[in-house]
Amino acid sequence: MPHMMPMMWVITYLFTLFFILFTISLLYFFYIPSKLSLLKSKKSSKFYKWNWLW
């Protein structure tokens, strides 16, 4: 029952929120720059690992 253990639901909610944010940030920092570096020229692809999209 949800009303018997509210702390467990809060912890579960926070954990799922953190997991979703973590996966989105992983996609943002690793998947999108690798896709963009394929479109870029070969000269800047060596340093594009540090060129974040901020």
Residues 18-33: tens digit of each pLDDT: 999 999 988 888 777 6
Give the whole-angstrom CA distance, residue 31 versus residue 24.
10
Give the whole-angstrom CA distance, residue 21 versus residue 6.
23
pTM: 0.49
The most confident of 2-6, 9-13, 50-54, by mean pLDDT: 9-13
- Beta carbons of 28 and 53 less than 8 angstroms apart: yes
